[in-house]
């Protein structure tokens, strides 16, 4: 089943523009849903949002979006740097994985209320961007360990981009943009679901529901860190 989907998406990239863009978007969605290292971003952002207490739907959406954009920025920079260095796209080596795993452990322990982190300190004085800067930093750091995972799913798209960029630059840009939208769309949707939960459960700052959501997400984030260490080459 999965192999059939992969084959169809790969072939669709060479069809008409609309179908190619849809296929690229599909690759972006699958890069999250079928990748263990990417899936760990979901409990990470849900746990972080939950730790902020009650937030408006707009604020939750913005935090999820900023976190996702941070991931994309880092992945793009890593892809460029590794390409210029002549290395496999996204290969940051074992130390990159160790760094992200360390971030996972710290955030996981925070979500389990074992340690405290000064999220509110990551706010520009005089602004209303509380929580956004911390979400951006989390996304930037998290993106370091996602290079190999991401470029494995981007390979079919990059093949088309590299072969058509000279004669059809708008299509190449569109394919990359469609992949990015699919990639961040899953994370933003998952983070935004926290708002739905808030409406139907007692999500006061000191509620037991919030406490357990945070702790479960903390455990999942720590497991994601362990996975990153175990997959170091």
pLDDT at 119: 55
Summarize pLDDT for 81-129 with one digit per residue, the tens.
655 555 554 455 667 677 777 877 887 887 787 887 665 444 434 444 5
- The single-letter DSSP state of residue 88 is P
pLDDT at 127: 40
| Range in 61-75, 151-165, 188-202 with the lowest mean pLDDT | 188-202
Domain ranges, ordered by start, for the chain: 2-49+56-230
In whole angstroms, give the CA distance from residue 193 to residue 195.
5
Residue with tokens 């790969």: 10
- Rounded percentage of the chain residues whose pLDDT exceeds 90: 2
Q: 204: which residues sit within 8 A by CB, 6+ positions away? A: 53, 54, 210
pLDDT at 22: 92
Average pLDDT over residues 144-162: 74
Average pLDDT over residues 191-211: 62
In whole angstroms, give the CA distance from residue 113 to residue 108.
9
What are residue 46's phi and psi, to 5 degrees? -65, -45
In whole angstroms, give the CA distance from residue 211 to residue 209.
5
Stronger pLDDT, 166 or 178, i.e. the higher one? 178
CB-CB contact of 44 with 153 (8 Å): no
The neighbour count for residue 176, using CB atoms within 10 Å, is 17
Closest CA to 225 of 141, 165, 113, 114: 141
In whole angstroms, give the CA distance from residue 147 to residue 79.
7
pTM for this predicted structure: 0.72
Confidence of residue 130 (pLDDT cuts 50, 70, 90): low
Residue with tokens 């708008």: 170
In whole angstroms, give the CA distance from residue 112 to residue 105.
10
- Rounded percentage of the chain residues whose pLDDT exceeds 70: 73
pLDDT at 43: 79
Q: Which two tokens stand for residue 199?
A: 């409406």
Question: Is pLDDT of 25 > 90?
Answer: yes
The alpha-helical segments, DSSP class H, found in the chain are 2-12, 17-33, 36-39, 41-51, 57-84, 93-111, 132-144, 147-164, 169-200, 208-230
Summarize pLDDT for 54-86 with one digit per residue, the tens.
777 788 888 888 988 888 888 777 766 655 555
In whole angstroms, give the CA distance from residue 99 to residue 183.
22
In whole angstroms, give the CA distance from residue 220 to residue 233.
22
Length of the chain: 233
Summarize pLDDT for 2-18 with one digit per residue, the tens.
778 888 888 888 888 88
By CB atoms closer than 10 A (0-12, 13-18, 19+), residue 127 is exposed
pLDDT at 125: 41
Strand, helix or coil at 74? helix
């Amino acid at each position: 089943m999965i192999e059939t989907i992969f084959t169809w998406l790969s072939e669709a990239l060479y069809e008409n523009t609309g179908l190619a863009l849809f296929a690229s978007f599909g690759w972006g969605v699958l890069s999250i849903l079928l990748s263990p290292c990417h899936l760990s971003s979901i409990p990470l952002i849900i746990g972080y949002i939950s730790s902020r207490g009650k937030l408006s739907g707009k604020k939750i959406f913005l935090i999820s979006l900023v976190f996702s954009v941070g991931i994309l920025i880092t992945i793009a920079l890593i892809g460029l740097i590794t390409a210029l260095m002549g290395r496999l796209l996204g290969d940051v080596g074992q130390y990159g994985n160790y760094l992200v795993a360390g971030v996972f452990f710290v955030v996981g322990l925070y979500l389990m209320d074992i340690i405290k982190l000064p999220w509110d300190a990551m706010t520009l004085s005089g602004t209303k961007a509380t929580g956004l800067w911390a979400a951006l930093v989390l996304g930037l750091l998290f993106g370091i360990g996602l290079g190999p995972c991401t470029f494995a799913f981007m390979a079919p798209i990059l093949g088309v981009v590299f072969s058509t960029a000279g004669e059809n630059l708008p299509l190449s840009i569109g394919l990359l943009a469609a992949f990015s939208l699919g990639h961040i769309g899953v994370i933003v949707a998952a983070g935004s679901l926290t708002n739905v939960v808030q409406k139907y459960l007692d999500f006061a700052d000191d509620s037991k529901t919030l406490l357990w959501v945070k702790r479960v997400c903390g455990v999942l984030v720590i497991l994601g860190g362990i996975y990153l260490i175990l997959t170091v080459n």
